[in-house]
Each structure stands twice: as C-alpha cells, then as structure tokens.
Amino acid sequence: MRSAACFAFASLFAATLAATAIAQPPGITMDMINTVLPEEGAPLAEAGAYAVMSETAFNSAGHRLYRPSDLAAFPAQDKLPVLVWGNGGCAIDNPRYGDFLGTIASHGFLVLTTAAKAGETGRATADSLRTAIDWAEAENARAGSPLAGKIDTTQVAVMGQSCGGFLSITLGADPRVDTIGVFNSGVQPAPANGQPATNPTVDALAALHGPALFINGHERDFMMAASRQSFDAVNNLPTFYGARHGAGHTATMYHKGGGEFANVVWRWLSYQFKGDSAAGKMFVGADCELCTNANWDTAAKGLK
C-alpha cells in the first residue's frame, strides 16, 4: 500500500510539473518558475481564529474545499464568503497549496480549488473554477449540508497563481465574481498571427467589474512586467499592485501556512468582504502597511 501511494504521489507531482511547464510563455524554464523567497527570516503566515478541515466537495470529485471545521459561528456571528483558487501551471491538483489555502480558510472563508478525479489528466480551465462557484451556490441550498445557509454566495472571489492567474482574469467577467486576485501573473500580448489568444489579453480587463489585486515577486519573477501592465490597464475599478522584493515567481506559496502571500490574500478578502478596517490597512492610504514596507513596491487606485 505504501509503495502504491508513493507511486501515485510521484505521478501526480510529475504531472503537475509537466502542466506548469506547458502553461507558461515560451522561453520560461523550470528554474525561473521555481524561484522562491527564502523561508528563513521571512514573515510568517498569520493563522485565523478557526480550526480548518479539508475534504472533497460533496458530489463533486473535481473540487476540494477548505473551511472552518466548527461552523457554529456562521452566519450569525461571522460571514463565510467564497474564494475559488487556481493553481500555478493550471494544475488540476497540487497538494503543496494546502497550507496556503488552509490559512485563508482559518480567517472565516470557504476556499475551493480543483482536484484530480481518478485517471484525470490535463489542466484546469476557467470552467473548472466556474463550476466551483456553481457548487457553492448549490451546497448552500442543499438540505442536509453542513454548509446549508452558511455560505455567503453574494461575496465571491477568484484568485490564482501564474497560469491560475490567467483563469482569475477570465472569470472576472462572471457577474457573480466580486473581486479577483492575480498572483505572479498578468495579461499576455495578443498573438501576432491573428490567431485566437489562449491566455487573456488586455481586452479581458475591460470586463472586470470589481476590485482587483495584482501581486508579483518583483525582479526575480518573470511575470512582473505583465503584472504591472495589468494594473496600469485597469482605470475604472479599485485596484492594488504589489511587488515583493526577492520573492520570485513561486514566492511564498509553499512556505509554512503560505507565508507572506497568504497574509495578503486573507487581509484583502477580510477588507473587501467583512468590512475589516484593520485588515484594510495593509492596502489603504499613503501610509498603508505594504506601502511603507521597504520589501515592497506598491501602487493603488480608487481604494477607500
């Protein structure tokens, strides 16, 4: 049994690497993709008040959820908004994001991501994440669900890393999506040969209708320029841009608890969805926490 489990994990890991490699712009190597912020001395992930559990989504083997294990506080004392997450490389499954997503859920969020069904290969798509929103709506209404009536389906975020960031931009047009987060990613140039674009171009940003967050790993992240271009192109919505010095393309996603980037996510969601002004201080005002942090370059538009 142990050998079979090890083989299955090795196969999954190899498939994840393969998906990552084919999902990036030409000329990008695995060494460039795997640049990270050194974990020693880096800010730690800040866990929330709730213990977290993870499980396969009911009646939907293609999704995994992270949520507070004790739901007694919802919805009377707290909200349970939704975050749908797209993995780097558009990988259907990547267990290494588990700690990162668990930290976010511990602050009172339902977090959904894709999971591989038996024998499934390929990459996650925008539809893979869109059906996660569908699932949350259905589960909130399903009699007998532990989540029945506890999910705030009026507050939905879609975020993603690298190729997953492409998916978050695409889904920003969905009227149910209230905010997006684009990590180590951004819009791509339109194909020169007139062929249909496989990744979102600057035109996709015009379809956004809610606040947008663009975060990258600064000069070690090959998507820094695309991230900044995306921020610059959004002029009619509240938008925040942050480049974390030295973080690289994978940044802190695989740090314990997801590290500093996990803190950025849960604070943004708490600010947007829970009216948490203390969390909002990370982003708002000339003296905001990231704005005054020497490790970050930032810019913002329209935030209050």
DSSP 256: G
State how many domains the chain has.
1
| pLDDT average per 10 residues of sequence, the chain (304 residues) | 33 38 67 96 98 97 98 97 98 96 98 91 94 98 98 98 98 98 94 82 95 98 98 97 98 98 98 97 94 97 94
Enclosing domain of residue 157: 45-187+198-301
Measured between alpha carbons, how far is 178 from 196 in angstroms, rounded to an integer?
27
For the whole prediction, is pTM greater than 0.95? no
Give the model's pLDDT for residue 25. Answer: 61
Domain contains 13: no
SS3 243: strand
Domain contains 39: no
Give the model's pLDDT for residue 191. Answer: 81
Domain contains 111: yes
Domain contains 276: yes
Residues 298, 241 contacting (CB under 8 angstroms): yes
Domain contains 8: no
Measured between alpha carbons, how far is 275 from 298 in angstroms, rounded to an integer?
22
Give the model's pLDDT for residue 178. Answer: 98
Domain contains 22: no
Give the model's pLDDT for residue 24. Answer: 53
SS3 241: strand
Domain contains 62: yes
Instruction: Output the domain CATH number for residue 175.
Output: 3.40.50.1820
Residues 156, 82 contacting (CB under 8 angstroms): yes
Domain contains 68: yes
